[in-house]
Copies of this chain bind each other. A is one copy, B any other.
Amino acid sequence: MDLFRPAGEAPVERAGAASAAASTAAAAEAAEPAGAPAPPTRPTPMRRRETAETLGRRQREISVAEFFQKNRHLLGFDNPAKALLTATKEAVDNSLDACEEAGILPAIEIAIEELAEDRFRLAITDNGPGIVRGQIPRVFGKLLYGSKFHTMRQSRGQQGIGISAAGMYAQLTTGQPVRITSRTGKKKPAHFFEIQIDTAKNEPKVLTDREVEWDHEHGTRVQMELAGTYKKGRRSVDDYIMQTALANPHATVHYAPPKGDPFERDRLTQDLPREPLAIKPHPYGVELGVLISMLGDTKGRTLKTALQADFSRVSAHVAEEICRAAGLNPEAKPRSLGVQQIEALFRAIPKVKVMAPPSNVIVPVGEALILEGLKQMVKADFYTATTRSPAVYRGNPFLVEAGLAYGGGLPAEELVDLWRFANRVPLQYQQSACAITRAALSTDWRSYGLQQGKGALPVGSMVLLVHVASVWVPFTSESKEAIASYPEIIRELRLGLQECGRRLGAFVRHRQRLAEAEKKKSYIQAYIPHIGIALREILGLSKKDEEKVVEVLTDTLERTRLP
B-contacting residues of A (Cβ < 8 Å)? 1-3, 5, 7, 10-11, 13-19, 22, 24-27, 29-35, 49-53, 55-56, 58-64, 66-67, 69-71, 73-74, 78, 98, 101-105, 129-132, 134-135, 138-139, 142, 144-147, 149-150, 159-160, 168, 171-176, 184-185, 199-200, 218, 269, 271-272, 274-275, 277, 280, 287-290, 292-293, 308, 311-315, 339, 342-343, 355-356, 358-361, 364-369, 386-392, 399, 401, 476-478, 484
Contact B13 A364 (CB under 8 A): yes
Contact A34 B389 (CB under 8 A): no
Note all chain B residues with C-beta closer than 8 A to A172: 287-290
CB within 8 Å for A387 and B18 given contacts A10-B360, A59-B135:
yes
16 extra interface residue pairs, beta carbon distance < 8 Å, beyond A33-B358, A59-B160: A1-B272, A14-B269, A16-B401, A18-B386, A18-B389, A35-B315, A51-B102, A52-B130, A56-B131, A59-B139, A62-B144, A62-B160, A67-B144, A172-B290, A173-B288, A175-B339
Across the two chains, which residue of chain B brings its CB closest to A128? B52
Contact B18 A61 (CB under 8 A): no
Q: Which of B19, B185, B355 contacts A389 (CB 8 A)?
A: B19
Contact A359 B52 (CB under 8 A): no
Complex CA–CA separation, A275 to B46 (angstroms)? 13
Contact B1 A315 (CB under 8 A): no
Determine how close the nearest CB of chain B comes to the CB of A193; give it in whole angstroms: 15
Contact B171 A56 (CB under 8 A): no
CB within 8 Å for A51 and B129 given contacts A11-B274, A63-B144:
yes
Contact A55 B129 (CB under 8 A): yes
Query: Top 8 nearest A-B pairs by Cβ distance?
Result: A15-B366, A15-B368, A16-B366, A172-B289, A16-B387, A49-B103, A10-B360, A52-B184
Determine how close the nearest CB of chain B comes to the CB of A186; give it in whole angstroms: 13
Determine how close the nearest CB of chain B comes to the CB of A533; give it in whole angstroms: 57
Contact B173 A61 (CB under 8 A): no
Contact B144 A18 (CB under 8 A): no
Across the two chains, which residue of chain B brings its CB closest to A131? B52
Note all chain B residues with C-beta closer than 8 A to A71: 159, 478
Across the two chains, which residue of chain B brings its CB closest to A282? B34
A-B contact pairs, 7 of them (CB 8 A): A1-B272, A15-B367, A16-B365, A19-B364, A27-B360, A31-B360, A59-B138
Note all chain B residues with C-beta closer than 8 A to A129: 50-52, 55
Contact A22 B132 (CB under 8 A): no
Determine how close the nearest CB of chain B comes to the CB of A197; give it in whole angstroms: 9
Contact A275 B389 (CB under 8 A): no
Determine how close the nearest CB of chain B comes to the CB of A106; give it in whole angstroms: 12
Contact B142 A61 (CB under 8 A): yes
Complex CA–CA separation, A173 to B346 (angstroms)? 10
Complex CA–CA separation, A30 to B282 (angstroms)? 13
Note all chain B residues with C-beta closer than 8 A to A63: 144
Across the two chains, which residue of chain B brings its CB closest to A291? B175
Across the two chains, which residue of chain B brings its CB closest to A472? B70
Complex CA–CA separation, A104 to B58 (angstroms)? 19
Across the two chains, which residue of chain B brings its CB closest to A145? B61
Determine how close the nearest CB of chain B comes to the CB of A527; give it in whole angstroms: 49
Complex CA–CA separation, A11 to B293 (angstroms)? 35
Determine how close the nearest CB of chain B comes to the CB of A424; give it in whole angstroms: 13
Across the two chains, which residue of chain B brings its CB closest to A277? B7
Contact B131 A34 (CB under 8 A): no
Contact A313 B34 (CB under 8 A): yes
CB within 8 Å for A132 and B3 given contacts A13-B366, A289-B172, A315-B34:
no
CB within 8 Å for A308 and B35 given contacts A18-B387, A49-B103, A103-B1:
yes
Determine how close the nearest CB of chain B comes to the CB of A484; give it in whole angstroms: 7
Note all chain B residues with C-beta closer than 8 A to A364: 13, 16, 19
Contact B289 A175 (CB under 8 A): yes
Determine how close the nearest CB of chain B comes to the CB of A496; give it in whole angstroms: 10
Complex CA–CA separation, A171 to B401 (angstroms)? 37
